[in-house]
Amino acid sequence: MDTLTISLLTLKIDEAKEFNEGACFVVRTQTGVYAYKNRCPHRGTPLNWLPDKFLALDKQLIQCATHGAQFRIEDGFCVWGPCEGACLEKIEVKVEGDKIILPIV
Ligand code: FES
């Protein structure tokens, strides 16, 4: 599988970044690095409201820009909104040293 490597230093804690031309995104928190397809399970629209802007204001959850569904960062589970109980599609991500290794999908 082809991979993409980005520096951990370019992704601050509580920030997100698009990859695969916006089809996917990665989020870094205090507890780890998580990646998902950029597709809301409610209507299939992209989640972000601006480039790289995927998180709610308090940065504790991922928030869909279309109808406001909110998802846990750690597992993509929807805790609030029209698709409550659904999950974002998770992407395996590896962290090796100061590098984040992501699949090209
Ligand atoms: S499209 Fe995401 S909550 Fe409706």
pLDDT, tens digit, 9 for 90 and up, residues 26-77:
999 999 999 999 999 999 999 999 999 999 999 999 999 999 999 999 999 9
- pTM value is 0.96
Can you give the pLDDT at residue 105? 77
**pLDDT tens digits along 64-99:** 999 999 999 999 999 999 999 999 999 999 999 999
Buried b (16+ CB within 10 A) or exposed e, 43-82: eeebbbeeeeebbeeebebbbbebeebbbebeebebeebe
Write out residues with Cβ below 6 Å of ligand 1.
40, 42-43, 45, 64, 66-67, 69, 81-83
The rounded Å distance from CA 84 to ligand 1 centre is: 10
For the chain, list the domains and their CATH numbers: 3-103 (2.102.10.10)
- For residue 46, the CA-to-ligand 1 centroid distance in Å is 9
